[in-house]
Structure formats: C-alpha cells, structure tokens
Structure 1
Amino acid sequence: MKRIYKILLRSSLLLATAAVICSCQDFLDKEADAIVAEGEAFKNFNNFQGYIEEIYNCIPDKEKHYWTTSWNWGDDEVFNLEGNWHMTNQVDLGNFWAWQAGRLSQPGAWLDKPSTNPTSTNKFDHALWPHAWYSIRKVNIGLANLEKLVSATQEEKNLIAGQLYFYRAWWHFEMMEYFGGLPYIDQVLPADQSPMLPRLSYQECADKAGEDLAKAAALLPIDWDKTSVGSNTAGKNQLRINKIMALGYLGKNYLWAASPLMKNGASVGGGNTYNYDDAYSKKAAEAFGELLTLVESGQTQYSLAQFNYKNIYNHEKADGATSRFSDIFYTTGQNWLMPGSTEAIFRGSSTDFNGSNWNTTKTFGPKVQGIVEHDNIIHQPTANYVKFYGMANGLPLDDPASGFDPAYPFKDRDPRFYHDIVFDGFKYVNAAMPADVEYLRYAGLHTNGTMRGATNGSRTGYFIQKLVPHTANKYDGAYNWSGNLHVYLPYMRLADIYLMYAEACAAFGGAGGKSTNFTKTAEDAINTIRDRVGAGHVHASYTGSRTKFIDEVRRERAVELSFEGFRFNDLQRWLLLTEPPYNVKTAQEFDRLENVDFFKTHDPREARVANFREVTILTRQFGTRHYWFPLKVSDVSMYPEFAQNPGW
C-alpha cells in the first residue's frame, strides 16, 4: 500500500483530538475521548494543546511494543535460538527488509505496524514509520493555523509553536537515522495533487531539522512548571517539550550530520571512520555546550542520577543516596512510577505500566526449569560487547597496563559491569526455592554450566540486568503485580549529552576540544561520566592522539549506553557496521575452578577460572547497502524522485 502519502494527504486522518497522554490527563480538564473539531482546534490554547497531545501519544515505546520486542541491532546483543525470528537476528542475517510490517511476525514492531491508531493508549498501537508521516502532517497543519490562535497570551503562543517546530524535526530525524535523507515535509501538501517532493541528502535534511529545532529552543521554556500555563499542572510536566530537549536534539542532529557516514557516504574498509565534518561538529558542540552550561549552573531540572549502591548486584542504593542510576530504566515498589529519575530528558508516554510485565521483564533471564516464566525468548549480551566494560582504573581490557587477569576475569572491572551484567557465580535468586531447583540459585554461566543452554539459557556466558533486575524471576517475583515493576527506555538522557558533546568536540579538537559556551573539554566530559560511577579517568596515553581518544569516547559510549538501542545507529554512522571486529558476535567460554560453596561465602568477582577464551557465534556479512534500511517498495514506486536506497 502507498502508505506514506496516503497518510500525508488523507484529510480524514486530520481530526484533532483531545485524547491526552497519561501524565497530562488534568492538563485540558476534558474527557479523554473528547473530540475537537478541526475548525475549533486552534482558537485557544487549551484546544490547540489538545490537538498537539495526539503527537505525544504517537511516540513508540520500544520496550513494550510487542510481547517480546527487539531494539538492539548492533554487535551488543543476541537472542537465544527460539528468538531467531526477531529483528535482532534478521539484522544479523542481513535481512533489513524485516523492519516492515507483514514481512515477518512483528520482528521489528516498533518501526512499523500493519495497523496503527494515533489516539490509542495501547502500547502495541504505535510505530515510527506510519506515525511519523501522520504527525508531520499534523504539525504542518498546526503551524499553518497559528494565526488563528488569537485568544492566547504570548507565552501560550510560544509554547504551541515551539512544540510544533520540535516535533516536525524530531519525527524527521528519527526516520533519517534508519533511512537517510528524505523529503523534508514543511508544508501542508494539497490533497488534490500528486506529491513530487524529491529526497534530500542527509545533510540537507539536517539543515532543515536544525532550523526547526533552533526555533523550538528559542520559543520553549526550560521548565514548564515555571511558566504561567504549566503552573496549573506543576509536577506533571516532565514529558512536555522544553528548551533542553530542543537543544539536545539540535546537537544530536548536527553530530549525526557531521558523522563519517553522512559526510563521506557508505563505504567498507573503515578508512573514513575518523573523518568528521568540522563545521557540523562545531555546531553540535555549541548546542550541547549551551545545554550543559544550563545544567551545571543549576538552571534546569536535570542532573546525573547517582551511582551509589550498598549492594550493586541487587541495585540497592546506599543509605543517604537521593537518586538511583537504575531508576533511569526501571522502578519497583514506587507505585508504578515512570522510570527516568533526574536524568531522562526525552521520553514518550508509558500509559500501560503493567505492560512491562507482558513480557519485557520476562525476557532477560534464563528459562531453565521455568526460573523466569513465559515465552522462551532471552535478550543476552555478546561477549565481544561485554569486553568494552574495562577496568576500574579506566583502562580498556586489552591495554597492557590495565591489570586485567584472565584467571580472574571479573575482578576490578568498571563498576557498571557489576550493575549491568550477570556473570558466573552471580546470586540470581534471593528468595526461597524448592530443593530440586536450588542448584540454579547461583548463575552457572561457565562452559557447560547450568544456565548455558542455547535454547533456554545464555549462549554467550552472560545475562543483562541493566534494564530489568535479576529479581524479575519466579521466586523473587519482581515482575508480579505487587512489585510495581515499570520499565521504559528514554530516547535521550543527560549522560548521552555529555558523551555526544565529547564526541563532537573530539571530532574537531581531540581530547582538548571544547565549545565556546561551556567550560569543559571533551576529556572533561568523559571524566564527568566516569566520576559518577567511580571509574578511572581517561588515561594520558589516550589523550595525545585524536583517533585514540575518539576510540575511548566510543568505548565509553558503548558502556554507558549499553542495551539502550543506540549501538546500531552508532556503528552505522561511524562506518563500522561492516568492519571487524564490530561485525562479529561471540560467546565467553571458560572453566569454573571454584565449587558452588565458594559463591555462598565469596563475592563472585573473586572467582578463579581457567581457559578463558572467546568463541565466535556468527559473523555478519554486510556490504555498503546495509548502512541504510530499504524503503517500502510500494512507496518508492510512487514517483521517480522518491528513490530507493542504494543496493535494495
């Protein structure tokens, strides 16, 4: 079906609605199903805001978008054998067509759906591709009708216009990440004419998105709570588009435009992986610099969540800690509080909070003996990716001075390793267990261990517990209703801003590069993130060379943002998607030298092992065409100017 332009042109889809997202239910003081007729939608702030609410509602929730959804498509994750139909495995096979609804049974569900409903609060009813075109047209209609907003204060007019400019850029940008340059729709296309808008280059699209985001940043407040309008819903405005979100995406938009793929085009060999566009990099650094100056001067509501634990394996925060790193990704026992803590900048809604447990929270641990219940699908980290977690002293594992000892491979690692990764000997179940499954209390992840089955355990020697706690199991019961376990992945958080600032500055200035409007250098920004977790600073041996420092920036990005859905796009824009070792997924093999009683009295990081080695699971056979997803055949067949991506 010719869905893009049917969505763009079909006027029947353009009824404005006051259906509101969960966090904003009191904002309009209307019934949730109230309909605002198109002619009435723009006459005052409440009506216009109701019209915009539907766009908020359209943002896909990657984690809860299908019963066993998939969003990590880089070198970071692999599924167990029963999950081979998921998009993660389809990407491994080079089958990038699988993103489209109907190609397989929802393997890449959050990108596309056969049927979507922009007014629905059902987690399964939203997808990027259809809702992007729908929302962009809705934005353009809103912008074309701004002059009708006569019964409004200047503050109200600015809030409406700022949100519209932001969303026009955001939806374009999210599609550009996967498909490259597209027609940038900045007008209401007439319903009685055939569209003939050509695809723009990536950087041409980025220029237009940058203009919209700059306008949004100028119009929007830092905090809606501190506006006259927002004071009516103080404490409930966290999801409202604000200046910080606009600046964050302005910087990200320019950094992506500066990146090697966008500057040099798709190529294999990795020769251009450090070849950034200086002009776009500097624009990115300035946007991030303005944002970080506001944050560090205390002018915003955002701060890095604390990484301060008295039991890091159980994510139990220390006495006196005021926030918790884990709360960025999930909350428990907090009346279904939406995750994000003080750090999440941009999120969509998460109205179906208990949808977390059907089945996201049941797809991260072993299915052996039903220790984690329901569908036999398991997200698990690759061994090659776990290697990015370096040593506590800040050095990568392969640095001769790091102190890494393969006889004690889990000792003295970056503190985030112990927070994010379940490894051999880890106490997986805390509660009482039946005697016949007691042998599963401590994770058996060594070669031929009790949790190493390729079908119902770990293929790689590790599990993930960054996004879902290990207590989400049958016996600890964190995923039971009483646990109030709510998961959500933010699209942007503050640590990411520091990392992107560091990369943008390093691109044109190395470790000492900085913007004109922020005091910290690229090196300082990386060390800010490491200081939060208590890891060592970037070593001097990596700061003298621009390329070596960029490698450390990229490794830091891999660790800090692990499993959050950014890795594929990073490898893509760095021109590393096709390159070894980034096209390989491996397993960790080793022999356990301690008996199970050791783990009852010792920290598992102290365990000795033998024959510690990696074994290849698969090698991805990618070419230049894999740097962009293919567009739908039905869409690119509409007119010559809307061309298919090369190679597809």
Structure 2
Amino acid sequence: MKLYNKFLWGSILTLLILGLSSCEDYLDKEAESIISEDEAFKNFTNFQGFIEEIYNCIPDKQKSYWTTSWNWGDDEIMNPEGDWHMVHQIDIGNFWAWQAGRMAQNGSWLDKDDADPTSDDAFDHAMWPHAWYCIRKANIGLANLDKLTEATQEEKDMIAGQLYFFRAWWHFQLMQYLGGLPYVDEVLPSGEKLTLPRLSYQECADKAGADFEKAAQLLPIDWDNTKVGRNTLGKNQLRINKIMALGYLGKNYLWAGSPLMKNGPQTGGGNTYNYDETYCDKAAEAFGELLSLVESGQTQYALVEFNYKDIYNHVPADDATTSYSDIFYTTGQNWLMPGSTEAIFRGPSYDGNSSNWNTTKTFGPKVQGLVEHDNIIHQPTANYVNLYGMANGLPLDDPDSGFDPTYPFKDRDPRFYHDIVFDGFKYVNASMPSDMEYLRYCSLYTGGAMRKVENASRTGYFTQKLVPHTANKYDGAYNWSANLHVYLPYMRLADIYLMYAEACGAIGGANHKSSNFSKTAVEAINTLRDRVGAGHVHSKYTGSRELFLDEVRRERAVELAFEGFRFNDLRRWLLLTEYPYNIKTSQEFDRVEDEDFYMENDPKDARVSNFREEVILTRQFGTKHYWFPLKINDTSMYPEFGQNPGW
C-alpha cells in the first residue's frame, strides 16, 4: 500500500546527522552510516542523531518550490498566470490538486513524488510523504528506548519527549486536511496484510493528545537551561520543548472540539457555533498552562513589540527592543531566521538567500518589471481586507465604527498600515528612471496603472506583511546585500492567545477563563489589541457568546493574516461553503485627490469616491470540500481504509 509502503515498511536503522543550524554538533560522523541498533540508541548523542532527521523533514511552506502557495481560504487570489497554483485549484473545487502527480507542481508543500528526508534542499520536503516516514521513525525510536542505557534521566526524558511529540505532530498535520486516519503508534512489521482502520477525527485527536501530553511532561521549557542543552547553547531555538507540546496539545483539542469535528461536514452554517465543550475545556487548560508560564516570565517567549516610527517602511521606534516585522522576515541581520521571541514552532530554514529566488519576488506589481522574476503575485482579497476594522476596535460594518467610505483608509486598525499596501502608498523609496516615476506611488484606484489583472493587483491591494514593499527592482531588498530572509512559523504566541480566547469563548463566552490562567477570553484578545494600539472588544460584543466568537474569529483573521491558517479555520468553523466566506472581491473606487496630494500627504488621509466592492469569483463548494480526497491507490488497498465522502 502506497500509504505505508515507502515510508513505513523500512527495517534498516540509519544514523543521519543533519546540518540544521540549531542542532549541528551532536556527532562528528558521516551521514547515512549504517550501525547496529544497540550502538545507534545506546547514548544521548547517538539517539539524538537518529531524531535529527525528523527535524529536517518539516516543510518550509514559503520556499518549497520556485513560487509557492499556502493561503487557500477567502484571503488571497493570484493573477491568472498563477492559475496552476494550489490557491486557484482550490477556488475551482479541484481539491485533488494537493496530490503530486495529479497536475504539474502546484506550489504546494503537501506532497511531492521525490521527497527526500535526508536532503538539505527545501524543494525536497513535503508533508504527506514525510509524515509517514517520520511517524515510523518516531515509533522505532520509542520501541528502542530500553537500549538507551548510557544516559541520565534528563537525557532519557528529552529523547522520549521529542519522539512522542513528533508522532502526534505529524499525525495532526495530516488530520487537519484529511480527517481521521489510522493512528500508527507501533512499528508495523513488513510483509503483513494491513488492516488498520480509519479512526474518527476525535478518536485520532485523543491519541495525539495523549502523546502531546506525555511530551509536555517530559520536555524542558528551554533546552539552554538543561545540562545536555548546554552542548549546543544558543542553538536550541528549534528544539521541541514543553511550550511547543502544550501549544499543540491545546490546538489538537480545540480542533477536535470545533464545529466540523463535532457535527461533521454540512452546509448552511447552522452549526458554526456548536462546539464540543469537553474538548474545548481541555484545550483551554493546555493553553492556560502555557500562557501562565509565559506571563510569569518562566519561558523564552514573549509577544513582540508593535512600535514603529515609520509603519509603512516597518522602521521600529527608537525605543523599540523588538520588531513585529521580525516575526516574518529579517533584513540586514546576517540572514537571521525570522521569528524573534514570538515564534514557538518552526522547522529548519537552510538557505536564507533562497527566499530571494522565489517568495520575495511574488508580492508586488510586475508592471514594467518593477518587481522582477516570475509573473506570480500574491494579492489580498478586498473581502478579507475588510476584516481589518477601525482603530477604535469596532468592525467596519458596525454603525458606530466611524468608517467613512469617502475616507476608507483613515483610522483603521494599526495592523492595516503594517500589512496592507493601498492606493497612494509610496512603493519605491530609491531613485528610479524618470519614465518609471509614475510607479513610485501605488495607483490602485479603478483603472490605475497598478490595477492590471495580468501583472498587478486585481483586488485594489497588495500586502507587505510577509515581504517588505522594498523588495523591488530599485530598493533592492531582495538583493544579496540586504540579507532578506523570510520564514513563516507554524505556531506563534499570538496564536496561543487567540486559540485560548476561542476555547474559552466557546464554553462560556467573553468572560470565561481556564482554571490555571488569570485572563478571561476577552482579556486575551485585548492583550493582542493592546500590543498594536487598537481598541478593546466593545461591550456590545461581549454579552453574547455568538457575537463574541465573531469578534474572536475576526481578530484571528487580522492577527494571523496571510500566514496560512484561514483555509483550515473556515473549514473547522463550517463556514467554507457559506456566504460571504465563499467569495473573493475587488475594491473599486475613483480618486478625488490629484497626484501631488500623495507626494505631500499621508495616503490614509486621501478622499475617494464611488467606493464599492465587486465580486471576482464565487467558490462553488459542497460538503465534500470540507476534507481533501485521499489517494486512490491508498484507499484501494484494503476496505478498512476508506475514501472521504463525496470523492
């Protein structure tokens, strides 16, 4: 069976020492040296070398191909030349496209025919094949813990904790897209008939939860503060620790308690607030323990500052000690891996400069080669940009928000100005030829020079949250000298606050809290709003559980915008099929101000006319689209492993 054959049946143990920046000094042995089981597992150094390959397998969503795709919800659209990308294939309902071989490489990190767990090339890694490989590897390690005889208790705990975490983590990554699967928690012998049934999502989550909980009990908060971790002091940031395990323990239970997992795929949206409170309570307790550790100063994690003297150019204030932008990209810092103090879980990123051959050249206008390379552009949809509310904390459509469609960019949530490139925005800072000067300021009004569907913005917006607007031909941020490095964390601290608020809100609304953390659900959301200087959740949204959850979801959309979470969020909330979450729109309007206005004034103060939205496309989804289809070769191997409904 292809599902297990290639990656679960192998019986030769290899000791593979990787070049991962945070874990490179455990052994001075040649990679792929085949040794006996007793030798491979006898001490911490050798056993850790066996585990290193699992770290190496974590895909880099942004750099898994020349141009990549990871935002598949209602948040993003590409220009038509990118229709082969996964984002468009999702738009047209072709969920088969996640599978390698179904179509040409689609920019997805989910599957590859030639995935190689030993490679240090980001192009060689994918979620599906590596998951089964790493699950088997974790099971082999757990089955051989008794051979770890030359080790302290601390070393034994750290080895076991990593293995339990990875066994659960790889299962969970697949479960999010495919639903319940066989939970493989033993070394499957080769040559025997497969009969492992597919479990329900919640049955899988129970097993994953048990593994995450064991990991949390066994692992330290910070490897730097352990005896064994001092061998790689300062290089342990990617090491699996207690905080990562608690974060995924909570996320696993929150997903299990979500409307899709409780009620099953369905249209109509009637069950979008119908959570399983038992699972949500488990999630809240896990997140509560994590946040209590963070806020009491017992961890290496903290929310990064949002403090800018020039928000459009992401220039921190003079008194800022950290920078929000550094979560997503770094420049001029010798290729420092992004994440700062906020990233909790990341995989390896071997070559920072690889950012500049794909990701960093896919966010800006291609008009006249302003941004070079492939004609592929990630563009935020207008319907998603509408989720960025006002600075006072109210959503745009609230009658008291103060939103004025004649001044649509004024007094918005501060994250709007950090993330979104809008009309009149100064896109190029450096000198440029006189015949290119018309592109210095964004002309994103209807009919403007940067509104061409084929090579600019079809929505009226660009984004610079993940890649700065200076990644263009003239400012040259994607040149070698800028040391621009991009990486998207799988989990960061703000996400924990958001998931805590959702879990608590699903149980008892805005004022509910866990037993082990002092903040209520609404206080958790307001912590993030305080960070950016936005208004608190208004009291009109705290009296109703449903209205509060709406605000939690909107806050999640804004804080985690374009980081790859929206698609799975809409699915688990049973909203993927529902209006207005199934449309993608553009922002249309006419300019009132003359060109000189934008050279002399802040573009957010510009007046416009005829401000309106137009639908670009409507996604025609049914219940089957709540899960990806499994591979036919796999589902045909034995009856206990069935296909997802509708496929």
* TM-score scaled by length of structure 2: 0.99
| Cα distance in 1 for residues equivalent to 2:47 and 2:167 | 16
Tell me, in whole angstroms, the C-alpha distance in 2 between the residues paired with 1:364 and 1:108.
Answer: 15
- Residue 554 of structure 1 aligns with an amino acid whose one-letter code is R
Q: How does 1:619-630 map to 2 (within 5 A)?
A: 619-630=618-629
- Distance apart, 1:576 and its partner CA: 0.1
Aligned to 2:482: 483
Question: Which position in structure 1 is the counterpart of 2:614?
Answer: 615
Tell me the SS of whatever aligns to 1:78: strand
Give the superposition deviation at 1:231.
Answer: 1.1
Q: Paired residue for 1:33, among 24, 31, 34?
A: 31
CA-to-aligned-CA distance 1:53-91 (integer Å, 9 cap, x gap): 000000000000111100000000000010011000000
SS in 1 for 2:4: helix
Corresponding residue number in structure 1 for 2:131: 132
CA contact (8 A) 1:36 1:47 kept: no
- Equivalent residue number for residue 369 of structure 2: 370
Counterpart-to-counterpart distance in 2, 1:636 and 1:38: 36
Q: CA deviation at 1:13?
A: 6.6
Sequence identity percentage: 75
Q: State the alpha-carbon separation in 1 of the partners of residues 390 and 18 from structure 2.
A: 49
Pair 1:605–1:347, CA change in 2 (3 A): same
The alignment status of 1:209 with 2:208, answered yes or no, reads yes
Tell me what 2:172 maps to: 173
Query: Deviation at 1:105?
Result: 1.6
8 Å contact kept, 2:393–2:538: yes
Deviations 1:20-77 (A, max 9, x none): 4222112x14256362525221111001000000000000000001111000000000
Q: How far does residue 201 in structure 1 lie from its aligned partner after superposition?
A: 0.1
The letter of the residue matching 2:33 is I
Q: Could you list the per-position Cα deviations for residues 575-616 of structure 1 after superposition, in whole angstroms to 9, with x for gaps in the alignment?
A: 000000000000000001111111111000000000000000
Confirm or deny: 8 A CA contact 1:330 1:488 kept in the other structure.
yes
Are 1:164 and 2:163 matched, yes or no?
A: yes
The one-character-per-residue Cα deviations of 1:398-417 (angstroms, maximum 9, x if unpaired) are 00000000000000000000
How many residues were matched structurally? 646
User: How big is each residue's C-alpha offset from its partner over 1:442-464, in whole Å with a ceiling of 9 and x where there is no partner?
Assistant: 00000001100001000000001
Deviations 1:526-551 (A, max 9, x none): 00000000000000000000000000
Aligned counterparts of 2:325 and 2:14: Cα–Cα separation in 1: 40
CA distance change for structure 1 residues 622 and 32 in 2, over 3 Å: closer, same or farther? farther
Ranges in structure 1 where 5+ consecutive residues have no aligned partner: none
Q: In angstroms, what is the RMSD of aligned CA positions?
A: 0.9
Are 1:100 and 1:108, in contact at CA under 8 Å, matched by a contact in 2?
no
Q: Does 1:357 align with 2:356?
A: yes
Distance between the aligned counterparts of 2:264 and 2:246, measured in 1? 26
C-alpha separation between the residues in 2 aligned to 1:487 and 1:38?
40
**Aligned runs of 1:146-295 on 2, under 5 Å?**
146-295=145-294
Q: Is the 8 A contact 2:281 2:503 kept in 1?
A: yes
1:16, CA displacement in angstroms? 3.2
Query: Secondary structure of the residue that 1:586 maps to in structure 2?
Result: strand
- Alignment map for 1:1-12 (pairs within 5 Å): 2-11=1-10
Q: Summarize the Cα distance change of 1:36–1:49 in structure 2 as closer, same or farther, 3 Å threshold.
A: farther
Distance 2:347 2:608 in 1: 44
Amino acid at match of 1:6: N
Q: What SS does the aligned partner of 2:510 have? A: helix
Q: Tell me if the contact between 2:61 and 2:70 (Cα under 8 Å) persists in the aligned partners.
A: yes
Deviates most, 513-522 or 351-360 = 351-360
SS where residue 357 of structure 1 aligns?
helix
Aligned positions of 1:502-541 closer than 5 A: 502-541=501-540
State how far apart, in whole Å, the 2-side matches of 1:135 and 1:480 are: 36
Letter aligned with residue 276 of structure 1: Y
Shift of 1:209: 0.2
The unaligned stretches of length 5 or more in structure 2 are none
Q: For residues 257-289 of structure 1, give each alpha carbon's deviation from its aligned partner in whole angstroms, at most 9, with x where no partner exists.
A: 000000000000000000000100000000000
Amino acid in the other structure paired with 1:287: A
Matched with 1:328 is 327
Runs of 4+ in structure 1 deviating by more than 4 angstroms, as ranges, are: none
Distance of 1:32 and 1:373 partners within structure 2 = 40
Aligned runs of 1:548-559 on 2, under 5 Å?
548-559=547-558
What is the CA–CA distance in structure 2 between the aligned matches of 1:187 and 1:442, rounded to whole Å? 59
Superposition pairs for residues 96-115 of structure 1, below 5 Å?
Answer: 96-115=95-114
1:286-307 deviation per Cα after TM superposition (whole angstroms, max 9, x unaligned): 0000000000000000000000
Partner of 1:393: 392
Aligned partners of 1:422 and 1:462 also within 8 Å:
yes
Check whether the contact 2:27–2:46 (CA below 8 A) recurs between aligned residues: no
Three-state SS of the structure 2 residue aligned to 1:616 is strand
SS at match of 2:616: strand
Q: Is the 8 A contact 1:18 1:35 kept in 2?
A: no
Q: Counterpart of 2:439?
A: 440
Amino acid in the other structure paired with 2:549: I
Question: CA separation in 1, counterparts of 2:411 and 2:28?
Answer: 56
Distance between the aligned counterparts of 1:13 and 1:474, measured in 2? 50
**1:73–1:91 Cα contact (<8 Å) kept:** yes
1:597 aligns with 2:607: no
Residue 414 of structure 1 is matched in structure 2 by 413
Give the secondary structure class of the aligned counterpart of 1:585. strand
The change in CA–CA distance for 1:38 and 1:555 in structure 2 (over 3 A counts) is: farther
Structure 2 residue matching 1:69: 3-state secondary structure: coil
- In structure 1, C-alpha distance between the alignment counterparts of 2:373 and 2:13, rounded to whole Å: 40
Q: For each residue in 1:166-223, what CA deviation from the matched residue of structure 2 results, as whole angstroms up to 9, or x when unmatched?
A: 0000000000000000000000001121211000000000000000000000000000
Structure 2 CA distance, aligned partners of 1:190 and 1:614?
A: 58
Asked if 1:310 corresponds to 2:341, the answer is no
Report the Cα distance in structure 1 between the residues aligned to 2:304 and 2:198, rounded to whole angstroms: 41
C-alpha displacement at 1:237, in angstroms?
A: 0.2
